[in-house]
Structure 1
Amino acid sequence: MRVAIVTESFLPSVNGVAHSVMRVLEHLRDTGHQALVIAPSSGGQAPSSYAGFPVVAAPSGTFPGYPDLPFGVTTSLRLETVLADFQPDVVHAAAPISMGHKAVTVAHRMGIPSVAVYQTEYASFATRYWIGPAQSFIWRRVRNTHSLATMTLAPSSYTRQVLINRGIPRVGMWGRGVDAVRFSPGRRDEELRRRLAPGGERIVGYVGRLAPEKQVEDLRVLADLPGTRLVVIGDGPRRPELEAELPGAVFLGQLTGDDLPRAMASLDVFVHPGEMETFCQSVQEALASGVPAIAPARGGPIDLIDPSHTGWLYPAGDLATLRSQVQDLVGDERKRLAFSRAARESVRGRTWSAVCERLVGHYRAAVEAHRLQQVV
């Protein structure tokens, strides 16, 4: 197939949208398909190609209060020209809100099937950045975009139902894969653990952006938990405030390469307090690393965490329950080890290859659905 991927975020940005697009491109290359990427220029730092496919850089803007998260702002005419030159079988719009909205609109006008992949809770995101009045506008934009798409794919059952409740039609599901070789219990590093917790404390960790929507400040409820050390991995605009709010925590900054899976596997319990996760890849990477995970019972983690087997889900906002769940696991080694084994087993079969092949199946279904619409 010939696939044009229009993404609101790409390298050098490091986030869930960019990560999934990269894995999709690698799969398309490995299975003999052709692809083109249209992505924000990110201040001129976007690569000219990825996985052997050309990357067309578009002008970019940034969200208010979050300069590290760019989005594309190109014109419809430019998109139409690029798509006409490439002649794709299908357009994949990754987290469409700005450039992705135009891409779906242009594809609809040109008679090209499109698959809109919903990945970011833009409306909820807005409330965390003090632009709450934009919520209704954002939901109208999301509904308009996804209603024009041949097919919408949600990353989790919770998010799928949210979209359906918002009146968005033709919503399927497409999850995310995990590299269970890179993220593995075998990466556990005892020397690193001694550096992080010299007193032999159990290590409770978070991995992700340090931004308002991640609610990392909720980890304060764990700050004085006896026999534990809190470790925060990641970077972002809230880091200075969080370092002040969590003075006893170890902040490791953003880790890449082998450092990230080594740090992840060296945790005893993983906690992700964000309530806006459409999927939450870091939870899945923790499970692959054999680390029990705890998260709010909202969004993507509902599909990933099996309570009382691989971790715990707590009612959103109930920090007392979060604390008791962490205490339960750090205080019971036998239970924690059982959860660890079950966590690792739970990701079996969730390879990126299998997940991306399912996406190609969705592409084909969109092409066929579009063909039948044309016949009618």
Structure 2
Amino acid sequence: MRVVIVTESFPPDVNGVAHCALQTARHLAARGHDPLVIAPAVAGADSSDRSAPCPVVRVPSLPLPGYPQVRVALPSRRVAAAIAAHRAELVHLASPFVLGVRGMAVAARLGLPAVAVYQTDLAGYARTYVGAGEGAAWRRIRTVHSAADRTLAPSSAALRDLEEHGVERVRLWPRGVDTARFRPELRDEKLRRELAPNGELIVGYVGRLAPEKHVELLAGACGMPGVRVVVVGDGPSEPSLRTALPGAVFLGRRTGDDLARIFASLDVFAHTGPYETFCQTVQEAMASGVPVIAPAAGGPLDLVDHGRTGLLVEPRDVGAVQGAVATLAGSPELRAAYGLAGRAAVEGRTWAVIGDLLLDHYAEVLGARTAVAA
């Protein structure tokens, strides 16, 4: 099968959209299919693309004002030319917003089936960054996804949101996790001594440092005796967070085996963002055998079994986060039990399993197109 993946982000970018697009391309290539990726141009892409599992076509882009880590693709004829030259049988739109809209238009013009993967809560971002614009964001989402043959939602909450806002033909497609890379055995006592030299309980956050992530909710944990907060990631909120989280250790962006070692060396993983359509870092923490604290909203509702693998708390409530940290800090037995249960819960969610589910969606879409043509 010849598939073109049109994605708003791709490595060397480090985010959920880029990671999922990369894993999709890898799985297609591993299963003998012929993928092509179209993505915005970014610094460092040349070296990254050489190690990609398939050819990558880069489209000129500009940094998003105020958030240079995010690139926005510019109008380009490369999208149509690349899809046509690849003789695509199906177009996969990864979190379509700007580049994905062009990919959808090309697919429609060429009569190609399209599968759109919903992955970014644009309405939540509009609420966070401009205090308005939710309606406009949903109109754009509805327009793009309604043109696709099928929309894939990463969680039950995301699926409900899409359907409630008028998007049809929505199915569930979760995300995989690398259970070989992220595993409890990587716990590193030397690293723990460096991060918490007085034997403090280590509470970690991993992700972008941006307003929509509400990392400042860890301020209550920073003030607890015997607790050390560790923050992994970068983004525009880092300067303000260094002030808001006194005593926290900021490690910057980490990836690969280095990140896996950090995950496994945490005592508690705390995610604070209320707008997650899935929340990959929660799965990576669970695979690492670490108990999780997350908001009772969005993707974490599917991932965290409250009272078994972690604790779900009221979104945007600093006291609720602090209370959950206190509960886990006071019970090593509870932390161990949650960690074991979390690892067991994700062991069957490998990217190979999730990738095969995606191929099933592709087959159903192609079959429906064939039936209509017949």
2:203 maps to: 204
1:113 maps to: 113
Aligned mates of 2:347, 2:273 — CA distance in 1: 25
1:227 maps to: 226
Aligned mates of 2:74, 2:96 — CA distance in 1: 11
1:241 maps to: 240
Paired residues for 1:162-311 under 5 Å: 162-311=161-310
Letter in 2 for 1:184: R
Aligned mates of 2:79, 2:44 — CA distance in 1: 19
- Residue 72 of structure 1 and its aligned partner are, at CA, apart by 2.2
Counterpart secondary structure, 2:256 = coil
Letter in 2 for 1:73: L
Q: 1:52 to 1:230 in 2, by over 3 A?
A: closer
Aligned mates of 2:273, 2:302 — CA distance in 1: 15
Contact in 1 for aligned 2:217/2:317 (Cα 8 Å): no
- Residue 58 of structure 1 and its aligned partner are, at CA, apart by 0.6
1:68 maps to: 69
2:344 maps to: 345
Aligned mates of 1:368, 1:19 — CA distance in 2: 28
Q: 1:49 to 1:372 in 2, by over 3 A?
A: farther
- TM-score, structure 1 normalization: 0.96
2:59 maps to: 58
Contact in 1 for aligned 2:268/2:292 (Cα 8 Å): yes
Contact in 2 for aligned 1:150/1:369 (Cα 8 Å): no
Q: Can you list the C-alpha shifts for 1:312-347, whole angstroms capped at 9, x where unaligned?
A: 111212332221111111111111111111111110
- Residue 49 of structure 1 and its aligned partner are, at CA, apart by 4.9
Aligned mates of 1:72, 1:368 — CA distance in 2: 32
Aligned mates of 2:44, 2:57 — CA distance in 1: 11
Q: 1:189 to 1:92 in 2, by over 3 A?
A: same
Aligned mates of 1:66, 1:156 — CA distance in 2: 27
Q: Give RMSD over aligned pairs.
A: 1.5
- TM-score, structure 2 normalization: 0.96
Paired residues for 1:22-33 under 5 Å: 22-33=22-33
- Residue 45 of structure 1 and its aligned partner are, at CA, apart by 3.3
Counterpart secondary structure, 1:344 = helix
Counterpart secondary structure, 2:45 = coil
Contact in 1 for aligned 2:217/2:321 (Cα 8 Å): no
Q: Can you list the C-alpha shifts for 1:178-205, whole angstroms capped at 9, x where unaligned?
A: 1111111000001111111111111111
Q: 1:254 to 1:293 in 2, by over 3 A?
A: same
Q: Can you list the C-alpha shifts for 1:74-130, whole angstroms capped at 9, x where unaligned?
A: 34x543322222111110000001110121122122210000000111221123223
2:360 maps to: 361
Letter in 1 for 2:88: P
Gaps of 5+ in 1: none
Gaps of 5+ in 2: none
Aligned residue pairs, count? 373
Q: 1:162 to 1:194 in 2, by over 3 A?
A: same
1:6 maps to: 6
Counterpart secondary structure, 1:167 = coil
Letter in 2 for 1:11: P
- Stretch moving more, 57-66 or 175-184: 57-66
2:94 maps to: 94
Contact in 1 for aligned 2:3/2:90 (Cα 8 Å): yes
- Residue 237 of structure 1 and its aligned partner are, at CA, apart by 1.1
Q: 1:28 to 1:139 in 2, by over 3 A?
A: same
1:37 maps to: 37
1:151 maps to: 150
Counterpart secondary structure, 2:229 = strand
Letter in 2 for 1:72: A
- Residue 311 of structure 1 and its aligned partner are, at CA, apart by 0.2
- Stretch moving more, 285-294 or 239-248: 239-248
Contact in 2 for aligned 1:25/1:50 (Cα 8 Å): no
1:314 maps to: 313
Identity of aligned residues (%): 50
Contact in 1 for aligned 2:233/2:253 (Cα 8 Å): yes
